[in-house]
Each structure stands twice: as C-alpha cells, then as structure tokens.
Structure 1
C-alpha cells in the first residue's frame, strides 16, 4: 500500500508532540513536513519544539516550516496563561529535550502548503492541530489548492459538547475564528475531529509507566512530558481521570477514517459576539452536498491500542 503524504500543522505543545510521534510511528504515513503555528506557544518555539521532537524520534529528515505568527484579525500573539499551565512555558512540560542542530526551512509554511498541494494533489493529507491561520492564508494566496488537497483532518471545534475556552468555542478555533470560517466554508474535503471525540480518548499514568519501563531516551522523555500534562488535567479537568489525546487522534482519523463515525454537515464558524468560535451547521448550505464531516463517536479502545502499540515500538528504538 502506498504511503499517504501527510503534512502536520502544529502549535507544538504536548499533544502536538504526541501527534508527531504517532505520524512517525505509523506505517501508512509519509510525513513530508511540519508547519509551525502559534497557540500553546509562540510560532518560533513551536517550530523549535517540532525539530527537537523529530530528532528525539529519529526523524531528522522531516523538514519544519515557519507559519503565521498571529491570527488574521490581530497584530501579535500572547500565550494564554492556561496554555502555559497545561503545556509548560516551553510547550513540552518543562522537559529539557536537546536542541536541534537543524534549521527551520527558508520557505514559508504557506508556500509549502501551496507547493505540496500542486505536487501531490489528491494524495495529500493536511492535519492542522492548532489555529487554521496557515491554511486559510494559503487558500487566500492560491484558491486553486482547495480542489487539489486530498483531505483536511483537523483537531478543533465542538459540535455536541461545550467548548473548552468558552461554552461556544474550542481553543484552536477560538484563536482565529475568521480563518477557521474561511477553511470550513472553502469546499475542502474536511473532517473535524473535535472535543466531541477527543475527550473520549484518554491516556493515564499506567501508559506513561509502560514508556518508562522501556528505559530509552524517547520513552523517558515522553513519559515526563505526558505526566506533566496529566498533572495539569487533574487541576483543569479532574473528572476526566487522564489527559485527552486531542491531536494524535486527528492523525489517527486521517489515516484510518473508520476510527470515528461522522455526520455529513456543511459547517460555519461564528465570528461575532458571544458565540465567537462556535462550529455549527451552515443554514445556507444544509441542502447542498456536504464537503465537511463532523466526528461524533470514536472507537476509543481501538485507537488507544494502536496508539500505545505504535508509540511504544517507536520509543523502544529511540
């Protein structure tokens, strides 16, 4: 089976690091590049975190591209205190992962999306797990890529559950609702992997202990990183009894769509007032053929088994 060309678009915090690991560990994926975004950390730190994690996982051949540094409606970006609490100020749980000797690519993330779309066309999967600023900017610059990109599987949004920033909005969408709305309404083959499903896929200290028991550099580092995340969740979401695998689930669904059930629903993102960032059905396109899909349920046990099997094997080797 031919590997699927994949680009990750990350604001590399802890679950983004897990998404990188899952993509690297998945035999179906050919990870051709990582784009950096802002959110959990500022964009430059996101890029450096991605380089560090790639090196740790023996994937130093994957290039990293610098993305947009703030939303389309602001002129700068400041990390929210809650993000620093959950991911650590360095974005990876205050764990010291060796700095990479590699440089960030000179080509911009936006141009890399456009070039990859024209080169790989329907074979390309784009997985954004942060704000949708980079993808929206690429579509604005070259609208023809909408029909060329094979599919977009994003982590963000909430359809059947409340948001995690406000009752209406999930964090990634909230960062740049205007760009998110442009992406949702562009006509892409788009699947939303939102809080509806990601909050049902949980990791606990039982799993991180399995990584510690490997006695490898990657296993120890990721155990430390995720234990920081779990501790933060004990404060912010004590009822969950673990940490959510938000971003890696999006990678999982990109490679194995049957991990989730979806509702075909053309969607919009609300960009005004108290419902800023809400992901909901587009009343003007309800009777048109659906290009958007919203994930509703997930086979959490199957995904967790895949996740642990693949990551443990990868960490064992690094």
Structure 2
C-alpha cells in the first residue's frame, strides 16, 4: 500500500536527505513539495528543491509558500546548513520558475481531493500547514494527518536549552497546527538525535562512483562539520527530517505518547514544546509525541534506499 505524501520543506541539508529517501521509497507517492523559509530564505529553499529534484529525476511539482513566520521576523543562520542551505554547494541565488499556486492553497486542494489518504510531512517551520488550516479549518477532519519534525519535549533544544529550531521559528504556526484537531505526530529531538549519519556513511557515498553520491557527500560534510563543533559527543549528525519521512511511512518504528501539547510564545521560553497541565474540560490530547524510536530499523532502511540511488 502506498501513502500519498506532500513534503513541506525548508530545503536544507537534512530536508534534501528526506527528499532523496522519499524518491527511493516505493511505498510513498509523493504528490508535490511545498516550500517554506527556514534553514535559508525561501528563494534559496526553492532553488535547492528544484535542483535536487532534477538530480533525483523527480517530476512532481514544487509550490512556493511562506517567506516569514506568521507573527515574527526571521533571522537566518548558516551555521548548520550554509548560507545557501546546502552546505555552500550551490551558492546563494534567485529562485527558478516554479508553479505559481501558493503552497497552502495546494494543500487545501489536495486535502479535498484525497482526504484521509493524504499525509503532510513538515520538515521546516509549520507556517504553510498552519496557513492551510486557517484558510479551511475543515482540513483537520479531511486530512489523514500530519507528521511534523519539530519540538523537544523530553530532550534539550537545539536553539535554546528547551526549543527546537522549527518550532522556535514560528511557535504561533505550531500552535495553530496543534490545536486544529488534525491528527499530528511530532517527531522531535527526543528521537531524531538517536538516528545518526557519520563520516563513514559519506565516504561510502563519495566512493560509490556516482556523481549524485559525491554531491550528497559534499553538502552533508558541511553538516557533519557543524555537528563536530556543536555536538561532538554525537559522533555524527542527526537524521531529523528523514526520520519524519520514515515515521510517516512506517509508524511502527516510533513509540508515541498522547500529549496536550503547547508551544510557548513568550520571549523567554519561545518555541518550548510543553504539556498543558490544565486543558479544557472534556478535551482530548492533541499531539502524539514520539519518545522512542527503532533506530536500527529506520537507519537500515534509509541508507539502503538512499544508497540505491547512487
């Protein structure tokens, strides 16, 4: 059985790995990639997405979405993904031509067309999905659900002590998604840091003799170097976004706990994902939070499929 997927990405390095994983997964029917700001400005994320799809020989459409958070301003840091979003492999540039329909409008249209058969996987800030839900609140009942890479419920953050980057960038959008009634699975730092890519993996890619393998090895090396500086104890870089794809295709690989989840919006705790201990009377938990992962099963599948492309 195939799963219809929209990938909503801020196409940086681990988003690129997630896109390759989807391209190599016969159990996924990728309908489109919707693009947002995040790791890099929207124009770079669009350019990165379209260039990757050419190299992966993917022919699905690309839709441009949010340039900024719903409420806040965005400051970009090239520390982990480079100024271009792909480890300085492509350079900063203009967005190439793309489908003019707005990302959120496409999500609404596809939800009405495919209903429960459709899953949206977000690997950047949740702004595009939040916009879609605000445009048409009935999506919460129509869509099969969303698998969102974001948050840190029982683990340290990666922007502040408590906040993960995607939620930190637009906590208002995260709350819109969390409180919409849409079935949401949160794949956060609680599990993604247990799935790693190492220098030995990129050596295999470089030694594959494939131009695509060398390209992926080159930009992933930038990510590995950033992890060496910031998280030397991990001995690799986390497969954040690919794990969100893996959980969408194989939910049995994660163990989730239902939470009344809330993203903090105050300046001193912005982006923290924390349980609301006093939910409205009669309310049901709103987010399934992944707290355990079958890391070996996921990584075996991820590396086998992606390396098959090389």
- Tell me what 1:261 maps to: 255
In structure 1, list runs of 5 or more residues that go unmatched: none
- Tell me what 1:302 maps to: 297
TM-score (norm 2): 0.95
- Count of equivalent residues: 308
Are the counterparts in 2 of residues 8 and 127 from structure 1 also a CA contact under 8 Å?
A: yes
TM-align CA RMSD: 1.7
- Aligned mate of 1:158, from 137, 152, 156: 152
Alpha-carbon distance in structure 1 between the residues aligned to 2:156 and 2:75: 24
Alpha-carbon distance in structure 2 between the residues aligned to 1:202 and 1:96: 24
Deviation at 1:168, TM superposition (A): 2.1
In structure 2, list runs of 5 or more residues that go unmatched: none
Are the counterparts in 2 of residues 266 and 285 from structure 1 also a CA contact under 8 Å?
A: no
Q: What is the DSSP-based 3-state SS (H/G/I as helix, E as strand, rest coil) of the residue aligned with 1:85? A: coil
Alpha-carbon distance in structure 2 between the residues aligned to 1:115 and 1:276: 32
Deviation at 1:285, TM superposition (A): 5.0
After the TM superposition, list the runs of 4 or more consecutive aligned residues in structure 1 that deviate by more than 2 angstroms: 99-103, 285-291
Q: How does 1:67-86 map to 2 (within 5 A)?
A: 67-74=65-72, 76-80=73-77, 84-86=78-80
- Aligned mate of 1:174, from 168, 171, 175: 168
- Whether 2:32 is the aligned partner of 1:38: answer no
Deviation at 1:102, TM superposition (A): 6.7
Deviation at 1:291, TM superposition (A): 4.0
Deviation at 1:266, TM superposition (A): 2.5
> Quick one: structure 1 residues 115 and 215, their matched pair in 2 at CA, closer, same or farther if it must change by over 3 Å?
same
Alpha-carbon distance in structure 1 between the residues aligned to 2:25 and 2:94: 23
- Tell me what 1:10 maps to: 9
Q: What is the DSSP-based 3-state SS (H/G/I as helix, E as strand, rest coil) of the residue aligned with 1:86? A: coil
Are the counterparts in 2 of residues 42 and 77 from structure 1 also a CA contact under 8 Å?
A: no
Q: How does 1:1-318 map to 2 (within 5 A)?
A: 1=1, 3-59=2-58, 61-74=59-72, 76-80=73-77, 84-96=78-90, 103-282=97-276, 283-284=278-279, 288-315=283-310
Q: What is the DSSP-based 3-state SS (H/G/I as helix, E as strand, rest coil) of the residue aligned with 2:66? A: coil
